Structure 1
């Protein structure tokens, strides 16, 4: 099953445009998008295959951490994680 996983990491400085562009390039492998320009956080939404929500969150977080490292971003703590399955999204659920 396909899951959309949203993740945010917060830190102690403002993230610039080029860093978000690098993160966007890094998460593209997971049909991802990136956010955070001008904020003290960076985030991404990625699509992963998983059997259940817990596995989707774990796979999404692993991919996010690898993508952030690839983009040269600091390894800030993850402060928000959310996941919605393709089936839930079609029904209009958000968790």
Structure 2
């Protein structure tokens, strides 16, 4: 089985960083409850108000199914609402 990695880089206004961090546990809980194949996630704070979200999925199909659901739960929606701009989104395969 191939582990898929989602790499999403985005900007958050300085005044919204606390809201983003406060929403993170709810987003993770919603992913665990509602997203088949979700393995875990790491959030990295970068310079210039940018962030990198690294999310691991059991398969590319699980990642695709998650994308189709969008912000369908309150915790996910709250996290997405704290994001001001998408910088980039990529998918890769984890090499172990």
TM-score tier (shorter): 0.5 to 0.7
Q: Determine if the alignment matches structure 1 residue 79 to structure 2 residue 87.
A: yes
Q: Structure 1 unaligned segments of length 5 or more: list them.
A: 91-95
Q: In 2, are the aligned partners of 1:20 and 1:34 still within 8 Å (CA)?
A: no
- The CA distance in 2 between the partners of 1:68 and 1:36, in whole Å, is 19
The alpha carbon displacement at 1:72 in A equals 6.2
**Aligned counterpart, 1:23:** 24
Alignment deviations for residues 28-67 of structure 1 (CA, whole Å, 9 cap, x no partner): 633112233885334311112215xxx84x556x28x536
**Aligned counterpart, 1:50:** 60
- Matched residue pairs, number? 81
- The CA distance in 2 between the partners of 1:26 and 1:35, in whole Å, is 15
Change (3 A) 1:85 1:44: same
Q: With structure 2 as the length reference, what TM-score do the two structures score?
A: 0.53
Q: Which one has more relative contact order, counting CA pairs under 8 Å at least 6 apart?
A: 2
The alpha carbon displacement at 1:10 in A equals 2.1
Give the one of 69, 77, 81 matched to 1:69: 77
| RMSD (CA atoms) | 3.5
- The CA distance in 1 between the partners of 2:92 and 2:46, in whole Å, is 24
Q: With structure 1 as the length reference, what TM-score do the two structures score?
A: 0.53
